[in-house]
Structures are given as structure tokens and as C-alpha cells.
Amino acid sequence: MKPLLPGLALFLLCGLSSPAARAEDALDEALALAGMRRADLGWEPKAWWPRFPVACYKLRAFDALFAAPLDCVVYTRSLGQAARELLDPAKLDERDGRGTGGLLQAVQQLGVDPKFGGFRGYSVNLRAPEMPLDQALLEVTKLCGRPIEAHTFGMDLPYPKPAAELAERVRVLPEGVSPILGRLVLNVAAAERWAELAFRNVDGNDRAVVARRLNVGEEMIDAFDYCPEIDDVAQSIDEASLWYAGQICVQALDDARVALLRIDLAAAPCFACDWETPLGWVRIRGCGDDSLCGEDDLLVVDLGGNDSYSGGVGASSAARPIGLLLDLQGDDEYASDVPAQGAGLTGIGVLIDAAGNDEYRARRYAQGAGQFGLGLLADLGGDDSYSNDFSGQGCGYFGIGLLFDAAGADRYRLLADGQGLGGVGGVGVLADRCGNDAYTAVREHSVTGRPSYHSPDLDVGVSNAQGCGMGRRGDGSDGHSWAGGLGALLDGEGDDVYKSGNWSMGTGYWFGAGFLHDGGGNDEYHGVAYSQGTGAHFCIGVLVDEAGDDKHLAEENSHSSIAWAHDFTISIVLNAAGDDLYSVKDGGLSYSINRSQALLLDLGGNDTYVTEKVPRPGSARNDEKFRARGGVSSYFADTTSLGLFLDVGGQDTYFAGLQNDSHWLDPPDSPNWQDRNFSVGVDRAEGTVDFTPLPVRRPSR
């Protein structure tokens, strides 16, 4: 090892021998080379800092993670663990002592809690009794204040006779099905009340405007088309009621799924049973190969068969706050040009498909998309194919969008905005528990129509995908800055392939936080710029890969990738095990600019690091404004930045003459030391890193 700079040797001896130090922790020792400790990481912005930006609608976790960057690793892993445990197919039918199941808990822990809190996942209090479906439908009519009997001139009218007509229609249902569906209908009616309560203070025209606003994704980042109704709704909505309605719908549908699958439906006939309630149509289908076009459906339940769905199934709107679909089995096909397949637009849209090799195709706002609402697509088995153009596959704008796939080898294709996008004020999560999966956000802007000015000479577009938190930066246009949300792509296991253009794979922008967690397998990551643990402008981007021989590739004259951080960004790439390859053309591999903190940590295996241009892994670029105190940029002078690279174990290969089992720092005469802008690179033969959060700091008395 090179000799330490003056004063650092004493710091190591004193600091690392203290009782609070973590014995022989490789990360602690790497930080100490720059005179830093874990508590020195992150920022707690001061309200008086001139020009430090303000953004509305920050999510509840952001400030805490921004102040303690290493907690981002713990948080990313907790998201991945929740997806793995709660979406286990072997346990999805189980219920705890309060009657809640894994699917509801997954919605709570991965969607509702990051967005809102307020619930702790104990129970959603489903109180509806089992009741024959015809009686339940009549009860819903009465709850809506509509008559079920007609009288005039002191006599009973000969029509309508809904009780008799319903009794005749439900006779086609297999034995045991009717009371299960009756209970489901009553629970959905209860949810509808809460969904409408959520918008009681919202102007009806504003609600209609935001429900029809289907271009929020393209308007993020550079803020060119301000929609005042979005601000008005965001400040008037009752979120507690909205998310309560969503949880009721999820648990009610899932309970019906479990109960129906306990019935022998093998001999169930092909039938159709439809009824229009004041809340929308209820449609029940048998085990035939059905075709259904969703128009104004409150609830669709299909008992089996290879079915074809078109239109807005499993979607809500400003006029109908709930749209639900439950399909129990079969190889099904879903296709739509309108919001569908788990789209919550100012309401609740849920699709649960219990089994089969299914194909999902849509244009936009589909396959788990929430805009001032909850959108969930949960596919619980089979090898599935998902294709959506824009805003879907786990995408939230001021809402929650979730795509859960519990099993199978799956294929995901998107043009832009999804696969785990937390857009403005939203949460978007794609969780795939197992299987060899492929995630593609189409790279070519000639296809997507979304060119990226970060790759001006290439056919590369803006992806905003695969674990991305993206905000609306209004400081250069109309001043309406909306914080990005939380976006996460969580893959439990398997040999997976991730492909995208720019802004993807654990990336953040403008007070957004993006996370990608891969639990294991030999994976490939193919991005271009701002890909793989990156971000720009007051944000967080994290990629954690737990195991396997992985390839982290930034391609096509790429730059600003693989633990790249710009302008008060926390960027972390952690690869816990395996023989890995990292390659970027220029500007990456734990590179910090403009007061950011970038960490690339590889904790095992024989690894290879490739770039065609300097800087080396673990670099922080200096800027004169780091020492300026003229007022407008004092927050640059008051803070600390870091580019840190750490490789533990293995026989590793580097470019530019760097050596295995060595370390590299800035030269002693570099202005970085004075400006607290530290560059640290360490390769060491052994060691461990403990990510247990630091104890909560308490003020001294």
C-alpha cells in the first residue's frame, strides 16, 4: 500500500481503534484514507442555503436516505426481501391471524408504505358475509339508493323485476361459486365508498382532467407543459381513503381467488352472467375460451379457459373509481389501446391472473400504472410476456403502480417510462420473484420517439425505466418543481438480461430515488448513459446485485454510467459476489462530479474493469465553485463529495496500469483535499463490509 498522506495515519490509528468503530471493516478503512467516516456521508440541506432547490411532494423516505447514503443499501435489500418473501407462490394462499395474505402485504410494503405510510398492514377489515350473488347485487343496488321494486298507483309494476331476473341469471354458476362472488361484490362496494371519499374535496373537472392526462412521463425532467389541475388535486385528495380502498380491493379479490380455487371447476361449463349495477357492470364467465371487451366494468371474474380481453379491463376512471378483473386459469391474451390491465386513474384498477402462460399488450398506462390511484397487475404463475409502450409495468405518478410476477420465465418490453418508475410524487415497482427474465426498454429513439440530448449523436432514447425515480425540474422553466418518486425493479433470482437506453437500472433525477435489486444469477446489464446506479440533481440511484457472474456494460460510446453521480446525487453499485465485468467508454465506475457521492463496491470474485478513457475507478472531479462563498453557491462550499471504489477479494484486472491489491488517491498537491472532494480507490485481498445502519444520532446534553 502507498504511504498515507500526512495526518491520515494518526486518524486511522485513533479513529478505527475507538469502541464505536467496526473492526477491520473494509469500507471504514477505505473512507479513512480520505479522513472520512460513515457519518460524514450524505447531506442534510440547510433551509438558508441560497439557490438550493425546493421540490414539492418528496416521498417520506427521501430525506433520511439522502442524509445516510449507506442506508440505501439496507433499504434496497429490504425491498427485495419483501418481494421474495411475500410473492412466494407456495405461501400466497396462506393467511395470517388477521386474515391478510402475502399479496396484500406486498402491496402494503412495496407500494402504500413508501408512498404514504399511515397503515401497518394489520387488516383491511373485510366484514361482508358470504351471500348468494343475486342477493348481493340487489344489496348493492339498495346501497346506492336505487329501488329494487317498482310501484305506482298503489300497485306493483310488471317490470322491472330485478330479483327474479337475477335469480334466473345466476343459475348457471357452478355449485359453491355464488356465495363467494356475493361476498366479493359486497366488499368491492365497500371499497367504492372509500374511493369516492378520497375525492370529496376535489373539483370534479380537475379530477377528470388529471385522469385524462396521459403524457405525464414525457413532461417530466425538463418541465415544459405545466398542468395546474395536478397541483390542485394533489393538495385536495384524501390519500388515506384512497389507499384503504385499494387495499380492500386487493384483499377481496385475493380471498375470492383462494376460495374459488378450492372448488373443483374442472367440469364448470362455458357461460356468461352479466349484470349492470349502479357502480358498473359485473361480468362472470365460465371455463370456456371467452372474449371480453372491457367498457364500463366494475368487476370481471373468469373461472378458466384461454381467454381474450380487449379494452379497458382492470382499470378505473374519473367516472368509475374501481375496475377489477380476476382470471383463475388458462393461457390468456390481453390487448388494449386504452388504459387497462391494472390501471388506477383517480381510483383503483386491479388485475389478478392466477395461472397460465399469458400475453399482455397495451399502448400506455397499463400493466400496473397509478395516477392519483392504485394500479396493480399480479400474475401468479406461468411464463408471461408483457409489452407496453409508455407508462406501465410498475409506474406511478402521484399514485402507486405495481406489477408483481410470482413465477416463470418472463419477458418485459417497454418503449419508455416504466418497469419500476417512480414518477412525480409516485411509487412504481416491478417485482419478479423468480425465473430467467428479460427486461427491455427499447433503446432506439427512432422507435420510441424520445431522443436523449445526453447522447446527441446516437440513436439512443430516454428510457426512464428499470428502477428509476424521476421528477419534474421546473427551476429553469415555470418554477413548478415536483419531486421524483420511488421506482424499483426487484428480481428475486434467475439469469436475467436488462437492456435500455438512457436513465435506467437504479437511477434518480430531481429528488427521485431509483432502486434495482437482483437477488442472484448470472445477469447482464446493458445501458448507455445514466444507467446502473446513477443520477443527476439531488437524487438517489442504487443497484444491488447479490450473487452470480455478472456483466455491467455501458455501450455505444457510453458515459455517465455505473456508479456515476452528478450534482448532489447519491449513486451506489454494490455487487456482493461473483466474477464480474464492468465496462464503460468514459465517465463512470464510481465517478463523482458537482458535489456528489458515488460508490462502486464489489465484495468478491475475480473481476475485470474496463474503460477507454480516464478517470480511474474512484474519482471526484474538482470545480472552483467548491470553495466559492459568494452567496449563490455557498452550499457547494459547505459540503463534501466523494468518488469511492472498493474491490474486496479475487484476482482483479484493471486498465491504465492499476494493480490488484493496491490503493490509489489524489496526489498530495491536488485541490481535492482542501475542497473536501475526495477520490479513493482500493483493491484488497480480503475483508468484509457491514451495512448495519448507524445508531440514531442524539443531541449531546
Q: Is residue 643 part of a domain?
A: no
Instruction: Give pLDDT tens digits for 114-129.
Output: 999 989 889 999 999 9
Q: Is residue 98 part of a domain?
A: yes
Give mean pLDDT, residues 436-442: 98
Q: Buried b vs exposed e over 271-302: b needs ≥16 C-beta within 10 Å?
A: bebebebebbbbbbbbbbebebebeebbbbbb
How many separate domains does the chain show?
Answer: 1
Q: Is residue 429 part of a domain?
A: no
Return the DSSP state at 108: I
pLDDT of residue 23: 52
Count how many Cα atoms sit within 13 Å of the Cα of residue 557 in the half-sphere of its side chain: 7
Q: Tell me how far apart the alpha carbons of residues 444 and 458 are, in angstroms, rounded to a whole number.
A: 9
pLDDT of residue 295: 80
Predicted confidence band of residue 1 (pLDDT cuts 50, 70, 90):
very low
pTM to 2 decimals? 0.95
Q: Reduced to 3 states, what is the DSSP secondary structure of residue 434?
A: coil
Range of the domain at 106: 90-406
Instruction: Output the average pLDDT for the chain.
Output: 93
pLDDT of residue 443: 97
Q: Is residue 555 part of a domain?
A: no
Instruction: Give pLDDT tens digits for 132-146.
Output: 999 999 999 999 888
Q: Is residue 151 part of a domain?
A: yes
Give mean pLDDT, residues 569-590: 96
Q: Is residue 521 part of a domain?
A: no
Instruction: Give pLDDT tens digits for 581-637.
Output: 999 998 899 999 999 999 999 999 999 999 888 789 999 999 988 988 876 678 999
pLDDT of residue 147: 82
Q: Is residue 317 part of a domain?
A: yes
Q: Tell me how far apart the alpha carbons of residues 586 and 621 are, in angstroms, rounded to a whole number.
A: 14
CB distance 527 to 505 below 8 Å: yes
Question: For 27-31, 339-343, 358-362, 584-588, which range has the lowest pLDDT when averaged over its residues?
Answer: 584-588
Instruction: Give pLDDT tens digits for 152-202.
Output: 888 877 778 888 999 999 999 999 999 999 999 999 999 999 999 999 999
pLDDT of residue 273: 95
Q: Tell me how far apart the alpha carbons of residues 501 and 487 are, in angstroms, rounded to a whole number.
A: 17
pLDDT of residue 346: 98
- Tell me phi and psi for residue 242, to 5 degrees: -65, -45
Looking at the chain, how many residues does it have?
Answer: 701
Give mean pLDDT, residues 31-54: 93
Residue 66 in this model has a pLDDT that exceeds 60: yes
Q: Is residue 46 part of a domain?
A: no
